[in-house]
Structure 1
């Protein structure tokens, strides 16, 4: 089996003997060289939030100020590419480790349970940054106590809001515009302190690469000004001046305005835009389209207007992987070198679904260049000694094509949304269909990342179902598109009294796991905040976590789950109800430490969320708390080695809300039968284990979560309480 150099934070004493010979890795060399480069580039800093950047206009020059353009280049993503590439080009660094095939086993051994943290949502004490708050030793002691072995920093980089053009459009920080950390997140020095604390507690760190749809920042400004090869970075087309009348009226230089159908058709008729993109045939692809800029004064003094592709909203322009300048590839490569090299992160996340169908035509269904990009980035990161997590949810057929030589891990299309929907509606049919589809596709469950709902909500767009169209996901099931519509309707019915505190906007239900657990328990928002109902919320929450923790692969727990955050209301955020964005309901701030008196808002202006649970550092000493429950699930994963297990079958179940999986454990540890009852009423399941699964009449079973249950043989009568998950070890 091809082996990869170990990440420096992994102790050589715990690595296989062949890996010890490869202990000298490129990461140390990369980190030293890139550190000097990063320090050299610190002269230019992004503008503060109270100082939005101006247009850098012509003044008396009749063109964009050259000094301003140089300053923008120092801030840009593409501007860092040459310095990053020179570290690897012409050296032995790119030859030290194999780029393929993916080898996830080492990371699964060292860190199979992760905490996903959005630093922007952390409340901090005094003048501490979010990274400094997270770096406090008591926090890591609490995380280790509940089994967390890795911390994934989400949306930590500088985002579009800092440039001041449409701050209201940036609520998540996903619209990345720079390699550096956002001002309210922290500095490189803060990150170094966090890395030191993490290393002392033997906890790994991870974060994102630049996404395939950035924000409106220096790179976009330089592209629109026609600076060198920057226009090739985005899917952008310069519009001849005599056709500007076909574009939407400008709303300033940089506020992108989406083209409507008639405006798009007019440009198509004149041969400016393609009549159709391959993406248009992808029914599962996220919304997007063409948008136009205002009148932008270029580096040469020429006024230009551009039309560009955007992902979800005009504030997220899409990179152009196919451009001959290779600027998109160079930008993403620079991000990989900086994250894996400079910051020494063993795991990096990819968001590349915006690249799907980036081809003119559309007569045939094609996701190009997404597969090529996924494979290229997966191989490059492996050559540097790291692993990649493709955070996008993709259809089963696309994963079947990409994963053999692509990213090391992908967000699970099996458990994402389907498990949450089963808890919400007591109907596990979609979950059963997705399990069957994954088994039929031959996908490795151990290369999936299983997550719980976070502040981003529950996405009911369900690409894994919509791609099936009019075909059923599994024999006898509903057609994929019909099943998706059925699920959306069912979720709407269950929201009930929660209204704007559980808003359904588009295809996204904006609730996190705590709120979902409260809704499933039948509580109203007022009841969810009552102390006497916390036990019921924790029970549902741990039930949800238990089912996902019993799956092979990585387990990723969003940090707000530890605090048990509940929804914000408009009174927390705005002066009047009509002026707040409803999707902010799930985006409240929290703190792992006991609250500081009067601290009710983050440095970035996010208000504290109501919390059902005590602070993390307090919970670890409370029997029956969510944190103590997670510690038990971590022990189960360690004892069974289920992270590296192989799902071999889905045994038949009787109840509409029931599902079962049989997983073969590594080595000679046997099998585990994971069975869950998502219904609010008890049931009894009759499970027959087949001899083809290497189980016989002498098989003994013991529930790892409820040790009072034991069984003998392959014909099992299993009593299931309401909303109960059993993990039965079979030997």
Structure 2
């Protein structure tokens, strides 16, 4: 049971004063009834216009930015010389990564992010990165250099912040914000105890099955992202008992596609709380912070249901398409553009682009061009380029990027789910999708991670390989000691890195490169970053 002091009206008031849903309504009201929202077309995607505003981007996660002693991330980013340097080398936009407060709250204490600040819990700038004044100074430097600042919207989930704590306590319509279900006390025997020091516990698949049989939840999803035996075996977790504002003690079961601390929003609840929160977040990013574009993170999972065949479907769900049309349309109405990082099947990517985000990350050919580099064989890349055309995905609608995450994504979702049994031709061989996927993954794992010389690249759950672009190249070249790279080897690494730049930059659409790529970053020894690796 939670501490008794957290059951008081004073604590509820403390949460309400900090909740995103409450703040979003205040921000959104600024545009309601105003002429500004009727000055621009908004119903259809505008990839050409978005790319024309800025066709070369620099991307960096704020936590990865190295600052001077005593300097915040935003103070470092406010340096006018930095923006002038970006401009001089041809960069037109900077994607700062998520800067708003993230993580959770336990009692009245804020807890750190568990997913690189994609577990948003507030509209304000995260104190870890600086102050609102720091942010305004950064925007002034960007504007003076004529560059666009790109921010982030996270429409799928939040962290366990004030909104979640209010939902646990059944305050107003906050439970309608999340995909959470109250479990009758007579069925609590199904739920495992929550370990000391935690506020929830992941459910075993057999518990999920029984809860579905008792018609509480829709059941197992076809894909468990970040599957980890004994840690995350399903997309469902149960809360500890929580006393509500009405005095009733409840346990909830809730959905999370990613980590346990990222409860999923309910995008079709009669309260429309999720839409209200995200609309306010959009208006805050564009109207208050002054961002010109925003990324829609994990936006492909906004709808989920059990279909007539008994399968629990989410990816490419019609509600996700509709939700993204609403989100992207509102962004265009407010004068901005959006892009999505959507690692789905190609047909789902194409569907999500109908009236949704203006641009999409190239998850189509990125694993394939890495495979071509590693193996010296472009057959898989040719296959993916052909499939891209078959599904009507145009190169000018894509962001052709080098590294944008701390792993090389090798999920190859297209061949894993819908097209697992479809036939594909590769190197004169006909393979079902699932076998093709495993063949490509095994080749990449063997050469980039399992080889004796490549121990610096690590497994990234089921997603792929934790590495950098440079360490993909060093592993490809068979280099074992990253501290003993000579000048000849360094020149070859640069040459291959530039080859990947050319592949991406010479395509229509947007070219994006990261700070990791600009400096040629290599992985650090795990022991040096053990604390950062502890939660995945």
TM (norm. structure 1) is 0.67
Matches of 2:359 and 2:497, distance apart in 1: 25
Query: 1:483: which partner in 2?
Result: 436
2:178 is matched with 234
Q: Which residue of 2 aligns with 1:329?
A: 275
1:412 matched residue in structure 2:
362
DSSP 3-state at the match of 2:29: helix
Write the distance in 1 (CA, Å) between the matches of 2:486 and 2:112.
33
Which blocks of at least 5 consecutive residues in structure 2 are unaligned?
228-233
Give the 5 Å matches for 1:32-47.
Answer: none
Pick aligned residue for 1:192 from 111, 133, 136 = 136
Name the CA distance, whole Å, in 1 between partners of 2:300 and 2:395: 24
Q: Identify the match of residue 343 of structure 2 among 358, 375, 393.
A: 393
| 2:420 counterpart residue number | 469
Q: Give the 5 Å matches for 1:9-88.
A: 57-59=3-5, 64-88=7-31
Q: What do residues 433-455 of structure 1 show as CA deviations (whole Å, max 9, x unaligned)?
A: 11111112222211111111244
Is contact 1:454–1:561 with CA below 8 Å preserved after alignment?
no
Residue 210 of structure 1 corresponds to: 154
Equivalences for residues 697-712 of structure 1 within 5 A: none
Corresponding pairs, count: 519
1:298/1:529 Cα in 2 relative to 1: closer, same or farther (>3 Å)?
A: farther
Stretch deviating more after TM superposition (384-393 or 468-477): 468-477
1:98 and 2:48 matched:
no
Per the TM alignment, residue 254 of structure 1 is displaced from its structure 2 partner at its CA by 5.4
Q: Contact 2:105–2:162 at 8 Å: present in 1 too?
A: no
Structure 1 residues 391 and 560: alpha-carbon distance in aligned structure 2, compared to 1, 3 A threshold: same
Q: How does 1:528-547 map to 2 (within 5 A)?
A: 529-547=485-503
- Measure how far apart 1:362 and its partner are: 5.4
Decide whether aligned partners of structure 1 residues 232 and 152 sit closer, same or farther in structure 2, where only a CA change above 3 A counts. Answer: same
Once the two structures are superposed, the pairs formed by residues 164-183 of structure 1 within 5 Å of their partners are: 170=114, 172-183=116-127
The one of 441, 456, 463 equivalent to 1:501 is 456
Alignment of 1:156-555 (within 5 A): 156-160=99-103, 170=114, 172-251=116-195, 255-275=199-219, 279-280=221-222, 289-353=235-299, 355=301, 357-361=303-307, 363=309, 367-466=317-416, 467-472=418-423, 478-495=431-448, 496-497=451-452, 500-505=455-460, 506-526=462-482, 529-555=485-511
Q: Which residue of structure 1 lines up, in the alignment, with residue 230 of structure 2?
A: none
Structure number with greater Rg is 1
Q: Distance in 2 between matches of 1:79 and 1:581?
A: 34
Q: Which residue of 1 aligns with 2:524?
A: 568
Structure 1 gaps of 5+ residues are 1-53, 585-731
Partners of 1:367 and 1:269 in 2: CA distance? 23
What CA RMSD, in Å, does the superposition of the two structures yield over aligned residues? 2.6
CA-to-aligned-CA distance 1:209-237 (integer Å, 9 cap, x gap): 13412222111111101110000111000
Deviation track 1:58-108 (CA, whole Å, cap 9, x = no partner) reads 34xxx7222222221222221212112312323333322221222232332
Q: SS in structure 2 opposite 1:369?
A: helix
Distance of 1:66 and 1:93 partners within structure 2: 40
Distance in structure 1 (CA, Å) of the matches to 2:319 and 2:410:
25
- Distance (whole Å) between structure 2 residues aligned to residue 380 and residue 224 of structure 1: 30
Q: Indicate the larger mover: 221-230 or 522-531.
A: 522-531
Match of 2:34, SS? coil
**Helix, strand or coil for the counterpart of 1:238?**
strand
User: What's the CA shift for 1:490?
Assistant: 0.4
Higher relative contact order by CA 8 Å / sep ≥ 6: 1 or 2?
2
Q: Are the aligned partners of 1:177 and 1:214 in contact in 2 as well (CA < 8 Å)?
A: yes
Whole-angstrom CA distance in 1 between matches of 2:104 and 2:456: 25
> Aligned with 1:88: secondary structure?
coil
* Residue equivalent to 1:11: none
Distance 2:226 2:405 in 1: 19
SS at match of 2:82: helix
Query: What SS does the aligned partner of 2:396 have?
Result: helix
Q: Deviations over 1:404-449 (max 9, x none)?
A: 3221111123322221222122232222111111112222211111
| Closer, same or farther: CA 391–376 of 1 in aligned 2, 3 Å | same
Contact map agreement 2:402 2:469 (CA 8 A) in 1 = yes
Q: 1:146 deviation in Å?
A: 2.2
Partner Cα distance (1:456, 1:362) in 2: 38
Distance in 1 between residues matched to 2:453 and 2:175, nearest whole Å: 46
Per the alignment, in what secondary structure is the counterpart of residue 305 of structure 2?
A: coil
Task: Please say which of residues 412-421 and 544-553 is displaced more in the overlay.
Answer: 412-421
Q: Shift in Å at residue 344 of structure 1?
A: 1.8
Q: In structure 2, do the counterparts of structure 1 residues 390 and 317 end up closer, same or farther at CA, with 3 Å as the change threshold?
A: same
Asked if the contact 2:302/2:317 (under 8 Å) is kept, the reply is yes
Q: Secondary structure at the match of 1:93?
A: helix
Instruction: Provide the TM-score with structure 2 as the length reference.
Output: 0.90
Q: What is the CA distance between 1:204 and its match in structure 2?
A: 0.7
Cα gap change, 1:401 to 1:219, in 2 (>3 Å): same
Deviation of residue 501 (structure 1)?
2.2
Partners of 2:224 and 2:14 in 1: CA distance: 40
Distance 1:498 1:383 in 2: 52
C-alpha deviation, 1:182, in angstroms:
1.9
Contact 1:176 1:211 in 2 (8 A): no
Q: Deviations over 1:538-579 (max 9, x none)?
A: 1111111110111111111122211222111133134xxxx8
**In structure 2, how many angstroms separate the alpha carbons of the residues matched to 1:186 and 1:465?**
43
Q: How does 1:107-118 map to 2 (within 5 A)?
A: 107-118=50-61
